[in-house]
């Protein structure tokens, strides 16, 4: 089953050069992470060395070698959010979820990440949860926001 | 769908589009870009659609979903045509009134207009709103007029006429010449003359040649490129195709960071539509010129925005820079000649071709021509995208357009050019903004990030923030950047924690100088700017941290304590109930006390304490007063009227 899904994605990138990052991004989107099987399979079918795939997958923040939670919480750590109190919002999220940035809660409910900039600087501090943006947050309002997810 | 096979086909198509349009027909333009989306514009949009249906107005009123209109602070914003009435901060509750009163009744709703906070006057036209009045929106203006998902909108406004002009009335050499004469400089930060870059790719040996759009806007606090790509993707595409023609490139890449999903979506749509109409692909407009474009998504690495690193990423490899003794314009992607320009640079090209180099050259300063888009953010009243002629002063941008500092605070500095830029202090606010002037001040133009900082911003902490950012993003390939930044971070962390030593400042200075000389790419070479400028302009703050163990801006956690002033506390229990770590003792009618041992300094108490009391103080550089004895904590309330507004029963 997993292999089928991986193969289907690889099929789209067979005859092109320089596709590795795009291919991994698609696997990431589909699986929410890059499973070991995928790395092996890409190596077998595209003849790209495992070391190279691993290097790319570990270099970029958009690719994850660990499974991530049902809800992806991305706290903007950009400059505009920073000067408007972003670090305190991040502190609160870390406290509420009991994980640090880059970690996943034990129940696989939330993964917390920081991101360099979401480009909504007018609304800082900003958090993106599952693709939805939430702006002008405070340590107090973020608690309410997170409690709305299950 | 009809393929356009000649310039006259294109003109005919444009006429058809315009003929179908009734200029008198009411329309609503709603900004649905990422910023307004975060403010809930999707619900407003839905509610307009429902309201129009409810009032049986389908087909009589158009709804146009547009890109960013720039004034993000006051979103969601809508424009009502044909009267061009601008409404700000529109809520779902306002929708039915807008439809009945403004769209049908042609009556302006005063409360939704922009009100000038200084004069109290409302503005009906965009030109009356100070935020827009002082701008020159050559590139951004069309964002309010086109639906980025519809090529017809762009063509209706004259889109692709520059392409037709270049292809059929000019030779590639003439196009290149025009760009050179315009003195356009790269908008991504480097400021390299665009025409010269194009020329060296054109003259380089090797086939095929590539042209690349850099939309890896990794500079935190900047969103100019996102707004252009989300809001008017065809303008970038048209510029790219013209560039390909001048250079002789047959393939193009558009590199967009995956954190911008809407930009990716709109650009892909634009490419598909352009191909359908014969404006891209084989035999463009019947000219015999072939050109294809692919989107490549960036997977999240700041350093990949550097030109040689970006090209390595296009090859599917880890996006790390390489030494550039051989220019990428000669050996770039797969060692083929490649020209890479920023989104904004490409978007300027159709304007230059249509209106001519002379016109373009008339805008701006001696060394920097045209306009520049800045992302004005931070502690400024009017956050948003600002497009101004080069040479406007920082003061005009921040005060006239930006409306000054939030909450009447005092200005402290402005960071231009992102993490690799520098902080410019108040005494240089009257400097004109262009490539060369900013460099003189120790900062850079960068791609256009402009973060305003007020008295509540700690400059040492800011330097730590930027160095920390750059340290994380350093690819690690060269030693000065990898190790130098790591040491600098260590020192800065020490200083903000109150453990700084006397010689730390000179150590930082030394590291900064070596990193800037010896690093491989621009990331390391410019990484010293935030350190050097803060050391130069805000040395007193470093001194305070190191010698007095005091953070004057009351930011650095380790140097700040929170304290409830017993004389001001009204025992409303608000902070007591909101404290996440139960560090506050107290009850109703009993003054609250912070347990300094338990306190994590999250600042929640400071934030929730009602403005009428302002009982929570931040203290730095001096000991926290001892708590008042238990028996003195009880509050005797006078009967009525002494309760502050924010108090909660």
pLDDT (tens digit, 9 = 90+) per residue, B60-116? 888 999 988 888 888 888 989 888 889 999 999 999 999 999 988 889 999 999 988
Residue B14 has pLDDT above 70, yes or no: yes
Residue B604 touches chain A, beta carbons under 8 Å: yes
CB distance B228 to B240 below 8 Å:
no
Average pLDDT over residues B446-460: 92
Residue A43 has pLDDT above 60, yes or no: yes
Distance from CA of A9 to the nearest CA of B (A): 16
Burial track A5-27 (b if 16+ CB lie within 10 A, e otherwise): ebeebbeebeeeebbbbbbbbbb
At B270-283, the pLDDT tens digits run 999 999 999 999 99
Least confidently predicted of B529-543, B591-605, B634-648: B634-648
- Give the pLDDT score at B218: 81
**C-alpha separations of A150 from A70, A72, B108, B257, B383 in Å:** 9, 12, 44, 29, 34
Average pLDDT over residues B185-193: 91
At B406-418, the pLDDT tens digits run 999 999 999 998 8
* A132 to chain B: closest CA residue: B38
Residue B223 touches chain A, beta carbons under 8 Å: yes
CA distance B241 to B290: 10
CB-facing half-sphere around the CA of B117: CA atoms within 13 A: 14
Burial track A50-85 (b if 16+ CB lie within 10 A, e otherwise): eeebeebbebbbbbbeeebbebbbbbbbbbbbbbbb
In the stretch 58-117 of chain B, residues with CB closer than 8 A to chain A read 72-73, 75
Question: In which element (H, E) is residue A147 found?
Answer: helix A139-147
CA distance B196 to B434: 19
CB distance B418 to B219 below 8 Å:
yes
The pLDDT-based confidence of B556 (bands split at 50, 70, 90) is: very high
Residue B460 has pLDDT above 80, yes or no: yes
Is B459-548 CATH 1.20.1440.230? Answer: yes
Name chain A contacts of B297, Cβ cutoff 8 Å. 21-22, 25
Q: Do B34 and A77 touch (CB under 8 A)?
A: no
Average pLDDT, chain B: 91
- Give the pLDDT score at A62: 86
**C-alpha separations of B79 from B28, B89, B117, B502 in Å:** 6, 12, 21, 58
Residue A21 touches chain B, beta carbons under 8 Å: yes
Instruction: For chain B, give the percent of residues with pLDDT over 70.
Output: 98
Average pLDDT over residues B226-235: 95
Residue B640 has pLDDT above 60, yes or no: no
CB distance B594 to B563 below 8 Å:
yes
Q: Which fold has domain A71-147?
A: Glutaredoxin (3.40.30)
- Give the pLDDT score at B1: 58
- Give the pLDDT score at B315: 92
CB distance B291 to B251 below 8 Å:
yes
Q: Do B35 and A119 touch (CB under 8 A)?
A: yes
Show the 3-state SS of B110-142. Answer: HHHCEECCCCCCEECCHHHCHHHHCCCCCCCHH
Residue B253 has pLDDT above 50, yes or no: yes
CB pairs under 8 A between A and B: 163
Name chain B contacts of A126, Cβ cutoff 8 Å. 38
For chain A, the domains span 2-59, 71-147
Which CATH class name applies to B372-454? alpha beta
Q: Which fold has domain B151-361?
A: Rossmann fold (3.40.50)
For the record, the structure tokens of A61 come out as 């923040």
Q: Do A60 and B301 touch (CB under 8 A)?
A: yes
Average pLDDT over residues A49-62: 92
Residue A14 has pLDDT above 50, yes or no: yes
Average pLDDT over residues A129-144: 87
CA distance B576 to B443: 44
In 3-state terms, what secondary structure has residue B28? Answer: strand
- Give the pLDDT score at B639: 57
Residue A55 touches chain B, beta carbons under 8 Å: yes
* B311 to chain A: closest CA residue: A18
CA distance A128 to A117: 11
Q: Do B72 and A95 touch (CB under 8 A)?
A: no
Which CATH class name applies to B557-632? alpha beta
Residue A80 touches chain B, beta carbons under 8 Å: yes
For the record, the structure tokens of B57 come out as 């107005």
Q: Do B223 and A117 touch (CB under 8 A)?
A: yes
Distance from CA of A140 to the nearest CA of B (A): 7
Query: Which residues lie below 8 Å from residue B82, measured CB to CB, with a gap of 6+?
Result: B23, B24, B25, B26, B27
For the record, the structure tokens of B635 come out as 């509050």
Residue B648 has pLDDT above 70, yes or no: no
Q: Do B316 and A63 touch (CB under 8 A)?
A: no
In the stretch 287-306 of chain B, residues with CB closer than 8 A to chain A read 296-302
**C-alpha separations of B351 from B136, B157, B162, B165 in Å:** 14, 13, 7, 12
For chain B, the domains span 25-81+85-124, 151-361, 372-454, 459-548, 557-632
Q: Would you call B19 exposed, middle or buried from its count of C-beta atoms within 10 A (0-12, 13-18, 19+)?
A: exposed
Higher pLDDT, B144 or B197: B197
CA distance A88 to A79: 14
CB distance B94 to B61 below 8 Å:
no
* Global confidence as pTM: 0.89
Q: Which fold has domain B25-81+85-124?
A: Glutaredoxin (3.40.30)
Q: What is the DSSP string of B621-638?
A: SSPPPPPPPGGG-B----
- Give residue for tokens 């892909």: B268
- Give residue for tokens 């979103």: B75
Name chain B contacts of A52, Cβ cutoff 8 Å. 317
Q: What is the DSSP string of B435-456?
A: HHHHHHTT---TTSEEEEEETT
CA distance B546 to B648: 42
For the record, the structure tokens of B596 come out as 């300094």
Residue A145 touches chain B, beta carbons under 8 Å: no
Across the strands, what pairs with B214? B255, B342
| ipTM score for this prediction | 0.84
Residue A116 touches chain B, beta carbons under 8 Å: yes
Question: In which element (H, E) is residue B369 found?
Answer: none
For the record, the structure tokens of B373 come out as 């888009």
- Give residue for tokens 């991040």: A90
- Residue B469: phi, psi to the nearest 5? -60, -50
* B385 to chain A: closest CA residue: A122
Q: Do B34 and A18 touch (CB under 8 A)?
A: no
Name chain A contacts of B453, Cβ cutoff 8 Å. 83
CB distance B222 to B213 below 8 Å:
no
């Amino acid at each position: 089953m997993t292999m089928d899904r991986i193969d289907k994605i690889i099929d789209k990138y067979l005859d092109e050069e320089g596709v590795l990052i795009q291919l991994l991004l698609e696997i990431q989107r589909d699986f929410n992470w890059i499973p070991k099987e995928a790395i092996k399979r890409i190596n077998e079918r595209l003849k790209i060395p495992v070391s190279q795939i691993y290097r790319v997958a570990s270099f970029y923040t958009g690719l994850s070698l660990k499974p991530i939670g049902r809800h992806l919480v991305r706290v903007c750590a950009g400059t505009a959010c920073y000067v408007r109190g972003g670090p305190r919002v991040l502190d609160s999220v870390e406290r509420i979820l009991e994980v640090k940035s880059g970690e996943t809660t034990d129940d696989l409910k939330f993964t917390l990440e920081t991101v360099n900039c979401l480009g909504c600087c007018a609304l800082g501090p900003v958090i993106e949860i599952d693709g939805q943006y939430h702006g002008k947050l405070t340590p107090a309002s973020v608690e309410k926001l997170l409690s709305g997810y299950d | 769908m009809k393929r356009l096979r000649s310039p006259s086909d294109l003109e005919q198509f444009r006429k058809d589009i315009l003929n179908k349009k009734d200029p008198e027909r009411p329309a609503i333009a709603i900004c649905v870009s990422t910023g307004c989306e975060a403010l809930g514009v999707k619900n407003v949009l839905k509610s307009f659609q429902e309201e129009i249906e409810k009032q049986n107005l389908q087909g009589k009123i158009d709804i146009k979903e547009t890109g960013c209109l720039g004034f993000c602070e006051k979103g969601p914003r809508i424009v009502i045509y044909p009267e061009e009435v601008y409404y700000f901060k529109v809520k779902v509750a306002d929708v039915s009134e807008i439809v009945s009163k403004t769209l049908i009744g042609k009556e302006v709703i005063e409360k939704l207009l922009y009100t000038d906070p200084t004069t109290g006057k409302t503005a009906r036209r965009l030109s009356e709103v100070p935020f827009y009045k002082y701008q020159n929106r050559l590139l951004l203006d069309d964002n309010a007029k086109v639906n980025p998902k519809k090529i017809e909108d762009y063509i209706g406004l004259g889109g692709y006429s520059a392409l037709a002009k270049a292809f059929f009335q000019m030779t590639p050499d003439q196009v290149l010449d025009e760009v050179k004469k315009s003195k356009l400089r790269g908008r991504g930060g480097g400021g390299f003359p665009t025409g010269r870059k194009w020329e060296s790719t054109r003259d380089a040996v090797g086939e095929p040649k590539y042209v690349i759009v850099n939309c890896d806007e990794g500079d935190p606090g900047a969103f100019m490129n996102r707004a252009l790509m989300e809001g008017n993707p065809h303008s970038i595409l048209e510029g790219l195709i013209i560039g390909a023609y001048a250079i002789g490139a047959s393939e193009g890449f558009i590199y967009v960071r995956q954190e911008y999903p809407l930009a990716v979506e709109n650009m892909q749509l634009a490419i598909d539509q352009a191909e359908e109409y014969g404006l891209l692909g084989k035999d463009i407009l019947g000219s015999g010129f072939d050109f294809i474009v692919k989107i490549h998504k960036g997977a999240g690495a700041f350093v990949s925005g550097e030109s040689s690193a970006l090209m390595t990423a296009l090859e599917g490899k880890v996006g790390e820079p390489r030494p550039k003794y051989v220019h990428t314009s000669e050996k770039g992607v797969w060692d083929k000649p490649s020209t890479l320009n920023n989104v904004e640079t490409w978007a300027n090209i159709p304007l230059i071709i249509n209106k001519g180099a002379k016109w373009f050259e008339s805008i701006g300063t001696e060394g920097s021509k045209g306009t520049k888009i800045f992302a004005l953010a931070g502690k400024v009243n009017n956050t948003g995208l600002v497009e101004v002629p080069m040479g406007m002063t920082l003061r005009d941008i921040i005060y006239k357009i930006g409306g000054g500092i939030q909450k009447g605070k005092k200005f402290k500095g402005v960071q231009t050019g992102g993490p690799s830029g520098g902080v410019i202090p108040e005494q240089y606010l009257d400097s004109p903004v262009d490539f060369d002037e900013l460099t003189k001040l120790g900062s850079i133009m960068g791609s256009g990030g402009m973060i305003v900082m007020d008295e509540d911003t700690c400059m040492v902490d800011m330097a730590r923030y930027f160095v920390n950012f750059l340290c994380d993003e350093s690819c690690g390939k060269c030693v000065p950047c990898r190790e130098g930044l790591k040491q600098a971070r260590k020192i800065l962390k020490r200083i903000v924690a109150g453990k700084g030593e006397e010689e730390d400042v000179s150590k930082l200075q030394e590291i900064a100088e070596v990193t800037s000389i010896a690093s491989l790419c621009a990331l390391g070479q410019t990484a010293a700017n935030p350190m050097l400028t803060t050391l130069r302009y805000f040395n007193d703050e470093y001194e305070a941290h190191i010698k007095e163990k005091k953070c004057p801006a009351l930011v650095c956690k380790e140097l700040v304590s929170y304290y409830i002033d017993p004389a001001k506390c009204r025992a409303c229990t608000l902070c007591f109930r909101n404290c996440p770590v139960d560090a506050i003792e107290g009850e109703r009618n009993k003054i609250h006390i912070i347990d300094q041992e338990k306190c994590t300094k999250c600042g929640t108490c400071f934030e929730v304490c009602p403005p009428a009391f302002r009982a929570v103080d931040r203290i730095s550089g001096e000991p926290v007063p001892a708590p008042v004895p238990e028996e003195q904590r009880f509050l005797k309330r006078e009967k009525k009227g002494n309760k502050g507004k924010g108090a909660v029963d």
